[in-house]
A and B are shown apart, each in its own frame.
Chain A
Amino acid sequence: GENVEQHPSTLSVQEGDSAVIKCTYSDSASNYFPWYKQELGKRPQLIIDIRSNVGEKKDQRIAVTLNKTAKHFSLHITETQPEDSAVYFCAASYGGATNKLIFGTGTLLAVQP
């Protein structure tokens, strides 16, 4: 069925360390994988996305990797800062009658100063 699993549900790191969040999806036809950051009391905001024709994408301290064979993708944040503390959601596109995004359950990242 339509399912995106996200791990871990909570992640605590020291400032300056790296953080990795992993997601798996079930539909081999999925071709778009965005990551959203939601700070407390605020809206989800897109931070990076990747399409199935590439394996990795970077934007400064943030990178996303995609393994289509294994059907998983990961978010990597390097040199974490306290302002990176938030809930991060992965999502995958699903086809069928209507293309739509299916979201993971979220990861609460806490960066300790």
Chain B
Amino acid sequence: ETGVTQTPRHLVMGMTNKKSLKCEQHLGHNAMYWYKQSAKKPLELMFVYSLEERVENNSVPSRFSPECPNSSHLFLHLHTLQPEDSALYLCASSPIAGGTDTQYFGPGTRLTVL
């Protein structure tokens, strides 16, 4: 399945590193999302972009910085992360922004912060 792709699939970084996660959707959708998935916790919505404009920032620490240069690409820039930030980061897209449209997920990036 190639509708929503994410790179890298796995990432190990130290607390002082700077890295970026990339998401690309090939579905012609106008909305893109970042979610955090931790063990035994519900999927946590981090950011929502609609037509390249951020429409939701769910009280995410500033060490996570999203970027949406166009409606097909979404980045999550990471810096000075903490071990508790280790999780699976999922990107998703939908035709329009909001909770009433089907969201299609990417395979995720498994992040480990040492």
Contacts and interface: CB of A to CB of B under 8 A. Distances in A.
A99 B41 contact: no
Given A34-B102, A44-B90, A49-B102, A100 B43 contact: no
A88 interface: no
Interface string A26-67: 000001101010000011111001010000000000000000
A6 B56 CA distance: 25
Contacts of A91: 43
Q: What's the dominant secondary structure at chain A's contact region?
A: strand
Contacts of B90: 43-44
Given A42-B107, A98-B55, A98-B56, A104 B98 contact: no
A99 B41 CA distance: 21
A43 B105 contact: yes
A42 to B, nearest CB: 7
Contact of B100 (A43, A99, A103, A104): A99
A73 interface: no
Contacts of A31: 100
Interface residues of A, number: 27
Contacts of A102: 42, 45, 99
Given A4-B42, A100-B48, A102-B42, A45 B105 contact: yes
Interface of B: 1, 4, 40-43, 45, 48, 55-56, 90, 97-108
Given A45-B105, A92-B99, A94-B99, 20 more contacts: A4-B42, A34-B102, A43-B106, A43-B107, A44-B43, A46-B102, A51-B100, A89-B43, A91-B43, A93-B98, A93-B99, A95-B99, A98-B56, A98-B98, A100-B98, A100-B99, A101-B45, A102-B45, A104-B42, A105-B42
